[in-house]
Chain A
Amino acid sequence: MTPRENFWRVVNHQEAERVPIFWGGTNSSIVPAHYEALCQELGLDEFKVPLGDFGTVNLHPLVKERLHSDVELLLIGAPPRRRLEDGLIEDGMWGFRMKEVGFYRTFPDQITPLRRARTIADIEAHPVWPDPDDPVYYLKQSERARKLYDTGRIVLGEASYAGAPFFIYPWLRGVDQWMMDPYRDPDFYHHLAQKITDFSRVILERWLDEVGEWLDVLCFYDDIAMQTGPMVSLEHYRRFILPYEKQLTDLARRLTGAKLSLHCCGSCYDLLPGFLEVGYDILNPVQTRAKNMEAWRLKRDYGRKLVFYGGLDIQRLLPFGSVEEVRQGVRDLIRTLGSGGGFLFATSHNIEPDTPPRNIVAAFDAAFEYGRYPLQAG
């Protein structure tokens, strides 16, 4: 059974050969700052400089092979970024700004370009909007997608910042304003949200025309939850977020047979009914340490309706547990979420720099070992 055949049975909630190992997406990888340490652990001396805003996106094939990964990442192209005089990095697609701090690239509210915007005219005056005619998004993507498909492995399509309207909104405006705009100035809010969605939709449509038929999973991303609960109510989600996300997923359904995945960190349990209304099939990264996000609860309440992609705790277990605790944690997770299919094993986000590389290897070895169907009881 190829990894793809195995995957399609599992996402249709059947037990197949084994629990797929989903390591290598932008949010199920390792932060670039820690990639070298992992390569060293694996005895790999020659590797390229790691790329990625969050997780490493140019993982060496040997690293993926050693960690038993079943996926191939197809990432949409992106226009070049530029470094500003004050050291910030400006994104070439939307014009949001990033700051390099410690191990990370970050998006502080204070430097968002539309922070002081008051009117719709201020939004329109923002100098950088995506150009859907820029070939950079689509160049050689079809050829690459076909090649990845032919490997028999699972093709994970990521439309990056054309699939994340509510990453872009706060990066242009600040998280605090994003939270308050719908109440203080609904016209402003809807104008900006629709504008972001419109550009995303056009680019997504043209990209999916090229690659849609080769994708197994298409990932969207909108972080709207915290450790302790959702940032917004389900009602807020339905009124102010769902209508925009749905425009993108409806489009995607027409252009690809891929399963649709939503990345939403944190405690999003209370928003899951809304996610189902949008039409997502898969939830990532399943942050099992967050409130109400225990594996058993998710499986019990949503196990027939959603596929879980992620789940292995990177907040405590992976960085601070012993190898034995990590193996036990993986085993418990697989037994809980993997039963009856519907589980794609991955870490609950990108692996952080405080994680001992031996724990990483132990986790994936354990997933490979314990993930064989039928799952071992007891």
Chain B
Amino acid sequence: MVDNLARAVAELKREESLAEVRRLLQAGRDPFDLIERGLMPGLDLVGERFERGEYFLPQLLLAGQVVEECSALIRPRLASDQAETKGTVVLGTVAGDVHDLGKNIVGTTLRSGGFRVVDLGVDVPRPEFIEAVRREGASLLGMSALLTTTMVEMAQVIEALRAEPDLAGVRVMVGGAPLDEDYAARIGADAFGGNARQALLRARELIGREPACPQ
């Protein structure tokens, strides 16, 4: 049962999750199902528990690792059409800022959620965001900042992005401690990702198709 996989992921049981993935693959279950009905609902539960204050950073990070390890077992078994991603997200922490814990968790969550994630790292100069979005054919740009002195850089990147006619369809999501919905809207972002779970939900709304097994 994929429910067991979801539960094992939600309970952060690494060995059990990996064993369950191996067992289900051996039993001939559709590998895509394992991701959509096992790993993703498991990760959703982790996100819910985080939002309810039952889980904290260690649990988010551990869950991300379990899902990445499970995905590594599943990915080679996916049919080529199933291996298609939900879209590409370019992620980075803006220039002048190197805080990346939140961004990394968002990256892991998006990757687990079926997106292809290109992480540019920290202290990313403005032109690098634009170049990467174009080069990678990204449909979503995600930016992070922890400081009031660097969050203003996000507005500059958005302005630069909007000045490129060929990138008109690219959506922007921002996140970071000093930000809120208002600020995100004010600088012209399409969405505010307050935490990893919200970021995944927003990304799905903005560019992804609906999950096969909505929670």
Contact = CB atoms under 8 A, between A and B. Distances in A.
Main secondary structure of the interface of B (DSSP, over half): loop
Nearest to A287: B177
Interface in B27-80: 53, 56-58, 61-62, 65
Contacts of A63: none
Given A102-B96, A228-B195, A179 B149 contact: no
Given A176-B101, A319-B148, A352-B147, A102 B123 contact: yes
Contact of B96 (A103, A183, A315, A320): A103
Contact of A354 (B57, B62, B95, B148): B148
Contact of B101 (A175, A182, A229, A319): A175
B150 A102 contact: yes
B91 to A, nearest CB: 15
Nearest to B146: A227
B178 interface: yes
B100 A352 contact: no
Contacts, number: 75
A51 B96 CA distance: 19
A179 B152 CA distance: 30
B98 interface: yes
A101 B123 contact: yes
Interface string A273-316: 00000000000000000000000000000000000000000111
Given A106-B98, A176-B101, A232 B195 contact: no
Assign chain B's interface to a size class.
20 to 34
Interface in B74-104: 95-101, 104
A230 B56 contact: yes
A353 interface: yes
B201 to A, nearest CB: 17
B6 interface: no
B122 interface: yes
Contacts of B58: 179-180, 182-183, 231-232, 236
A305 B194 CA distance: 33
A109 B100 contact: yes
Interface string B123-157: 10000000000000000000000011110100000
B195 to A, nearest CB: 7
Given A175-B101, A176-B104, A228-B177, 19 more contacts: A102-B97, A102-B149, A103-B96, A103-B149, A104-B96, A108-B98, A109-B100, A110-B121, A179-B58, A180-B62, A184-B62, A226-B57, A226-B177, A229-B53, A230-B56, A233-B56, A236-B58, A314-B148, A352-B147
Interface of A: 99, 101-104, 106, 108-110, 175-176, 179-180, 182-184, 226-233, 236, 270, 314-316, 319-320, 352-354
